[in-house]
């Protein structure tokens, strides 16, 4: 009986802790929302609309978030590719590369941005840094002032490593998708026809 009561108390404490952590995560993302220059985000949306094809690159957990963005753009009927997949074609003039890197120094992402620029493609970077190789290479930068992975002091976020940046990438690109979808006036049913059906 004592063990069961003890376990119940621990579970209740854990449930409360998880709820508190979720509230903290939402608060941090709301704080970050108020730091963003949405004129920069408008430039991203306009470049997506104008591009022949859209290429997206990011690494690690940021890569998972940006794969989600590529999927939504595909649902919208755009020619979108995630860099590194075996079916990703060559980037060319008139294309757009969206490159996400918190530090702005991830070597594979910087190299891709430099290659894209050399071929006449437009590069839009999403990063926590305004002074980095990626920021200097990109045509446009969206500053997301979240904590970097190696910011262990917790000055900008109480979360581990680059979690806030990674979460916000997903939320921001979903918001851009929602706006582009509304502007396209495409019915939900049309988007659904493009949803994967071999799962």
Among all residues, which ones are annotated catalytic? Answer: 166
User: Is there a contact between 194 and 74 (Cβ–Cβ < 8 Å)?
Assistant: yes
Calpha distance 92→160 (Å, rounded): 38
Neighbours of 14 (CB within 10 A): 10
User: Is there a contact between 125 and 104 (Cβ–Cβ < 8 Å)?
Assistant: yes
Calpha distance 142→71 (Å, rounded): 21
Euclidean distance between the first and the last CA atom of the chain, given in angstroms as a whole number: 46
């Amino acid at each position: 009986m004592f063990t069961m009561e003890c376990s119940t108390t621990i579970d209740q404490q854990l449930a409360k802790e998880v709820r508190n952590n979720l509230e903290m995560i939402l608060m941090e993302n709301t704080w970050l929302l108020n730091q963003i220059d949405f004129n920069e985000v408008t430039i991203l949306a306009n470049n997506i609309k104008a591009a022949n094809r859209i290429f997206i690159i990011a690494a690690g957990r940021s890569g998972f978030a940006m794969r989600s963005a590529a999927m939504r753009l595909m649902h919208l009927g755009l020619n979108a590719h995630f860099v590194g997949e075996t079916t990703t074609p060559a980037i060319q003039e008139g294309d757009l590369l969206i490159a996400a890197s918190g530090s702005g120094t991830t070597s594979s992402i910087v190299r891709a941005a430099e290659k894209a620029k050399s071929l006449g493609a437009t590069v839009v970077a999403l990063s926590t840094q305004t002074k980095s190789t990626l920021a200097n290479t990109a045509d446009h930068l969206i500053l997301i002032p979240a904590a970097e992975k190696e910011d262990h002091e917790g000055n900008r976020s109480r979360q581990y490593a680059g979690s806030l940046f990674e979460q916000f990438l997903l939320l921001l690109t979903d918001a851009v998708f929602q706006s582009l979808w509304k502007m396209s006036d495409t019915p939900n049913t049309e988007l659904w026809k493009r949803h994967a059906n071999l799962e």
